[in-house]
Amino acid sequence: MMTRRWFAFFAAVALAGVAGPWLPASAQEDLYARMQRVNSGLSSYQADVTVAIKMNTFPYLSPTLEGKAYYKRPDKTAVTFQSVPALAGQLKKVVGQMEPPSDWPKLYEVTKTSDDGSAAMFKLVRKKNGRIDHVDVKVDDKTATVSEMTYFYKDDGGTIKFSNTYDQISGNFVVKQQTGKVDIPHYNADISSTFANYKINVPVSDKVFEDA
């Protein structure tokens, strides 16, 4: 039962992806256009990733996993772990997975809810019915990067929240740390993923993504 429930959780987040806005109004197009230009010169990368999990509910496990993260333009991503327990098999579907802004309008109906000049907030409702009720997304106005997203679930309620911290390498914004808080019925956990030793625009074999 434990494994099946964790699989449902990670599969739901993987399907939701990292959401974002398509903004038709002229005042909003500038931010959306800048979001699409972020990392325009990035064709690939590989990085080391460490994922620490702290379960605050039974069975109170606190595993740490080491692996590699890969990206290849236009939208190929993969995470591989040195060991492959059942939990790692589900984690590789979500850790570091971020849909590009150009794909967002295919998946979501978007409403801009606020912009204080520092950060913009959006509410995203998935076009296809599923477990997610909606997603709240926070975008940094200065860097045009997604800094925070919160998934709200339908049936039993609950939320999953992720926050991103970035490094700039060779003019590209890459995730340095991704922290998450899982608060859904029967499960409460903290997840922290750290990315390091980025290699930018290096050859990455398509075989890496076959099992992703």
Comparing 5-9, 35-39, 85-89, which segment has the lowest mean pLDDT? 5-9
| Tokens encoding 58 | 């039974």
- Distance from the Cα of residue 170 to its chain's centroid: 22
**pTM (2 decimals)?**
0.75
Handedness of CA 168, 173, 176, 181 (dihedral sign): positive
**Full set of structural domains in the chain with CATH:** 2-204 (2.50.20.10)
| Residue 155: predicted pLDDT | 75
Q: CB-hemisphere CA count at 13 Å for 20?
A: 22
CB 101 within 8 A of CB 20: yes
Q: Which residue has the higher pLDDT, 1 or 210?
A: 210
Q: What is the DSSP letter of 130?
A: S
Q: What is the DSSP letter of 59?
A: T
Segment 117-127, tens digit of pLDDT: 899 998 888 88
Q: Which residue has the higher pLDDT, 4 or 128?
A: 128
Segment 141-178, tens digit of pLDDT: 999 999 998 888 887 788 888 899 999 999 999 999 99
Confidence band for 94, pLDDT divided at 50, 70 and 90:
very low
Residue 24 to residue 32: CA distance in whole angstroms: 9
Q: How many Cβ atoms sit within 10 Å of the Cβ of residue 15?
A: 15
Segment 171-207, tens digit of pLDDT: 999 999 999 898 888 888 898 999 999 999 999 999 9
Comparing 12-21, 28-37, 143-152, which segment has the lowest mean pLDDT? 12-21
The stretch 65-80 carries a mean pLDDT of 86
Residue pointed to by tokens 């204080």: 116
